Amino acid sequence: MAHPNKPHNTGFITMKSEHVSRLKHASAPPAFVLPAHDDSAVGQLCRELDAAFAAAETGASFGLRVRYALQRAIADSALLRPDQRIGDAHGYHRHLIAADPLGRYAVASLVWEPGQASPVHGHRTWCGYAVIEGVLSETLFRWDAQTQDAVETRRQPRVAGAVSFVDAGRGTMHQLGNPANTGTRAISLHVYGVAGEHIATHVNDLIAA
Ligand SMILES: [Fe+2]
């Protein structure tokens, strides 16, 4: 019987811990808490996420609004600063770029060098992502309750412009990565339903160690 902690061979180099860049100076103002008048692409994204929460209270589709917000955000070439596009040779790198002052969501860029990938995981919260540049590969899994293991169901390329939204749970397990043979960096934009300080610890429900 397969074990839930058995690594899945999907051809990627996976990492055991996630790299997250944060503010280096504790005395500096929390730059990721955006002022209301911020008219940058990130500020616009945050306002649209705020609107998605407000609309959801009236029954509107939250996931659809998040997808549209991500789609608009990545259309702006000034969305990310140069330092938010920097990768790490040791594993895919996550830059926290905005966080909701109310703790309802956090926004991050993820930088994937060729051959880097996430672990196979479900989600403890809702998540949305969009591919900004490069081509990611997404491998999808279903949870087999009998064997208590993730079973691969599909693998698909996710090109620049691709947008996705998933709810929490093991119904939408996946692994994202930048295949080694692309030879080029990939960057994606992610929104998670957690406070900024929980972005590395309260999102992924890891299936493989
Ligand atoms: Fe994920």
If you measure from the C-alpha of residue 157 to the centroid of ligand 1, how many angstroms do you get, rounded to a whole number? Answer: 15
Domain 13-206 CATH superfamily: Jelly Rolls (2.60.120.10)
Contact 204, 119 (CB under 8 A): yes
Hey, what amino acid is at 78?
A
If you measure from the C-alpha of residue 149 to the centroid of ligand 1, how many angstroms do you get, rounded to a whole number? Answer: 17
If you measure from the C-alpha of residue 56 to the centroid of ligand 1, how many angstroms do you get, rounded to a whole number? Answer: 22
Measured in whole angstroms, the distance separating CA 12 from the mean position of its chain's CA atoms is 17
Q: What is the pTM of this model?
A: 0.83
If you measure from the C-alpha of residue 192 to the centroid of ligand 1, how many angstroms do you get, rounded to a whole number? Answer: 9
* Mean per-residue pLDDT pooled into runs of 10, the chain (209 residues): 43 44 39 63 95 92 97 96 96 95 96 96 95 97 88 96 93 93 96 91 76
If you measure from the C-alpha of residue 28 to the centroid of ligand 1, how many angstroms do you get, rounded to a whole number? Answer: 31
Residues 6+ positions from 13 with CB-CB distance below 8 Å: 91, 115, 116, 117
**Among residues 150, 120, 114, which one has the least CA distance to residue 135?**
114
Burial of residue 105, with CB atoms counted within 10 A of its CB: 0-12 exposed, 13-18 middle, 19 or more buried:
buried
